[in-house]
Amino acid sequence: MNMRGRNRINDIFPILLFLVFTLSALGIVMMSVQIYQKILVRSDGNYDNKTAVMYLTEKFRANDREGQIRVGQFKGQDAVLISNPVKDEVYVTCIYAYDGYLRELYLEQKLLEGAKMDSGTEILEMDSFSAEELSDRLISLKFTDRSGNSLTTCLAVKSGGGA
């Protein structure tokens, strides 16, 4: 009888050991998947915000001439306004956030007041965007993506910019 009970334990022990190993491995894989998903969500938000910063940095560099870059309002929203004189007309590039997107609108300055908020081209998904002129040469920009991740940066206008 002793021999018979001992054989059952000898038979069941490898199966139990394999089951414990399998459940442990499955638990580790499930935890890893959750961690990976959190990292992806966080990096997606950072990607959008950093892309918006790089986009505006390039806009500043390309248009950094005396008085062409300023912070203002477009239909009650913070906006970066970049003026470009072309022959006898002044065109404005207006960068603002509306309806979940960072948008860009390019048109004659005299038509800016009559333009609609949804007229701008969608650049990136963005919950909100704010701009503040800290001095005549320094502009603070804050981007908030749809996940609530925020990024604030300051861009310098080398030409003196400002209003």
Cα 131 to Cα 70: distance, rounded to the nearest angstrom:
10
Confidence (pLDDT) at 162: 45
Which SS3 state, helix, strand or coil, does residue 159 take?
coil
pLDDT in tens, 59-70: 988 888 888 898
Tokens found for residue 50: 């950093």
List the one residue out of 42, 73, 69, 51 whose CA is nearest residue 139: 69
Distance CA 131, CA 143 (A): 9
Predicted local confidence at residue 95, as pLDDT: 94
pLDDT given for residue 2 in this prediction: 53
> How far is 129 from 145, CA to CA, in rounded Å?
9
Per-residue pLDDT for the chain (163 aa), expressed as one digit of tens each?
455 556 777 888 889 999 999 999 999 999 999 999 888 777 665 677 788 889 888 998 888 888 889 899 999 889 999 998 888 899 999 999 999 899 999 999 888 888 998 889 999 888 889 999 988 888 999 988 887 888 888 888 877 544 4
Q: What is the pLDDT of residue 87?
A: 87
Cβ contacts of residue 38 below 8 Å, gap of 6+? Answer: none
- Give the integer Cα–Cα distance in Å for 19 and 28: 14
Q: What is the pTM of this model?
A: 0.69
pLDDT tens digit string along 127-157?
889 999 988 888 999 988 887 888 888 888 8
